[in-house]
Amino acid sequence: MLQPRYRVTDSLPLVLKVAHFLQKKGVRGGCHLEETARAKGWLDVLVRFRLRSDVKIDIPAYADSYDLSEIHDYEHELIELVRSRISKSEKPVILLDCGADIGLLSALLVSVCDCIEKVIAFEPNPRSFHQLESNLKLLPVDANAKNVAVANFSGKGALQYPEHDSSDHAAFIAPSEDGDISVIKIDELELPTGRRILCKIDVEGGELAVVEGALKTLASSSEFAVVFEAHREQVNRAGIDPLEVLSLLDSIKKCEIIVAEVPGRVIDFSHPFFEQFPDRIYNICVFSK
């Protein structure tokens, strides 16, 4: 968790710039330099990125989960696809960011979509939540951070880590009576009916559970867009094919389905998703018609 001693700067630390330059040029020592800088505390700063004149976000320079030199292009296929769809109407949108981490995707979406009037961001990991809460205060819209997990039940859970990845970005929630994480359903929020909903889900294999816990909210919306990540390792762990999520969403309202990274490719529901899309992690976008 960040402490007050971490200062905010508008530029990357010089040592990190040098390390990234060496890495991109394939020069030996770049990774070692970055690791050394992180260990010695030289990267204990927050870098403030201005995504738009009125949209800013602070990102820890010491975090190894982001390439800070490419923040403005982060998930650009996904961001542009969502922007192009939800901006066709000026009717206000409520963004539900499930698995928000430090709020980067929320900030990017707000920076390109003027129709987003409210953000509700959910992040169970306390190490990320502190920075998420701080970053949402930098947004020019009504934004609330909730230190909870989202699923298809209400109660307690515990963060667990898959065998293939021990980082916080791979952690998933599991029900646990003795857990220290609060778990809620989106339907418990009792959002106003007839609103446009944009729901981003990044919960490492728990996507179906999130949708199951949001059935009432999505059904009562005027229209919805749901975006979720399809990750082969997490699908294998959870045993839930992304097609199950898509089928459930299509049963709520008839939907158009687009894979952001390969928008022209049609999904065949008679074959498992990763037999058709074997190459990478994908962002699947579902837009109600």
Q: What is the mean pLDDT of residues 276-283?
A: 91
**Whole-angstrom Cα distance, residue 73 to residue 180?**
35
H/E stretch holding 251 reads helix 242-252
What number is the average pLDDT over the span 193-205?
95
Which domain-ending residue is among 45, 65, 85?
A: 65
What are 226-258's pLDDT values in tens digits?
A: 999 999 988 888 899 999 999 999 999 999 999
Please name which of 107, 259, 231, 246 lies closest in space to residue 169, comparing C-alpha atoms: 231
Q: How far apart are CA 102 and CA 8, in angstroms?
A: 15
Q: How far apart are alpha carbons 38 and 34 in whole angstroms?
A: 6
Q: Considering only residues 55 and 89, tell me which one the structure prediction assigns the higher pLDDT.
A: 55
Tell me, what's the pLDDT at 62?
A: 86
One domain for residues 247 and 163:
yes
Higher pLDDT, residue 190 or 6? 190
* pLDDT for residue 1 is more than 50: no
Cα-flanking dihedrals φ and ψ of residue 285, to 5°? Answer: -115, 130
Range of the structural domain that residue 50 is part of: 1-65
CATH of the domain at 266: 3.40.50.150
Domain count, the chain: 2
**DSSP secondary-structure letter at 99?**
T
Q: Does 119 lie in the same domain as 9? A: no
> What's the confidence (pLDDT) of residue 3?
46
Average pLDDT over residues 11-35: 93
Angle at which helix 30-39 crosses helix 14-24, to 10 degrees, equals 150
